[in-house]
Amino acid sequence: MVFTIGSMREMRQQRTVVRHAARVAALPGSWSATRRRGRTALCGTVAEYTGLCGWAVVPGARAERGGEVCSCGEPRCKEPGAHPLDPAAELPAGAGPEAAERMWERMPGASVLLPVGRTFDVIEVAELPGRRALVRMERMGLHLGPVLLTPAGRAQFFVAPGAAAELPDLLYRMGWDDARLDLRCLGPGDHVTAPPSDFGGLGPARWLREPRLDSMPQPPEARLLLGTLAYVAHRTRVCA
């Protein structure tokens, strides 16, 4: 997906429409003004993910505080608040705020999930080494993609798709295959929770490094980041 001046202008126009709708929803006498305002803001964010970032978005389940009870209704849910409500319900890349509004009207309260393995894979490490590695890589001037931070204390680095399949071989070639690293890769079939949604009842997901046009739509190759991530994860474990 190529972003042009026209596409950026359209995104600004979409934001204007969303903000106007939010102001109308907040007028005295509006029905459920607070609820409407919150949903409008969320749908505006979803439209930025689909339109500006070029990502598909899937409405996800939510969990009660503590993450034990999932809104899907399954008492033994294996991923409370961290899985799609309906795998067939998906907003494709390029969908606008109107499509997001219609989707969330059908599934009120759904969280915002991003499917992994299409436009990006994810390398996940613990928060502390993730923060340290990000500082190192920014100082090195590396091409970086977005980085998510979960309330479970995990940093999720967006990298080019295919990383999940390549990870074992990459670690082997770099000499990190037997280092017992707290590092894993998410790929096809996985999802990440995107801000402003709550992650598994533990609190909101946040951006450690927000999506930027200079890293869209092509996130970095995993091999460019993996050496630094593996080294910092190893040093953090050894020095703990």
Q: What is the pLDDT of residues 165-221, one digit of tens each?
A: 999 999 999 999 888 899 999 999 999 999 999 998 889 999 999 998 766 668 999
- Confidence band for 21, pLDDT divided at 50, 70 and 90: very low
Tell me what pLDDT residue 6 has. Answer: 42
Q: What is the pLDDT of residues 75-102, one digit of tens each?
A: 888 888 889 998 789 999 999 999 999 9
Tell me what pLDDT residue 210 has. Answer: 94
* d(C-alpha 145, C-alpha 148), whole Å: 10
Q: Which of 6-10, 80-84, 105-109 has the least mean pLDDT? A: 6-10
* d(C-alpha 82, C-alpha 192), whole Å: 8
Of residues 170 and 238, more confidence is placed in 170
Contact yes or no for 65/201 (Cβ under 8 A)? yes
Domain layout of the chain by residue ranges = 1-111, 116-240
Mean pLDDT for 13-32 is: 44
Angle at alpha carbon of residue 221, lines to 165 and 137, rounded to 5°: 125
Q: What is the pLDDT of residues 143-158, one digit of tens each?
A: 999 999 999 999 999 9
Contact yes or no for 205/194 (Cβ under 8 A)? yes
Q: Which of 111, 197, 206 is nearest to 154 (CA)?
A: 206
Tell me what pLDDT residue 89 has. Answer: 92
Q: Which of 7-11, 157-161, 168-172, 223-227 has the least mean pLDDT? A: 7-11
Q: What is the pLDDT of residues 23-74, one digit of tens each?
A: 433 434 443 444 566 778 899 999 999 998 999 999 999 987 667 789 888 8
- Confidence band for 237, pLDDT divided at 50, 70 and 90: confident
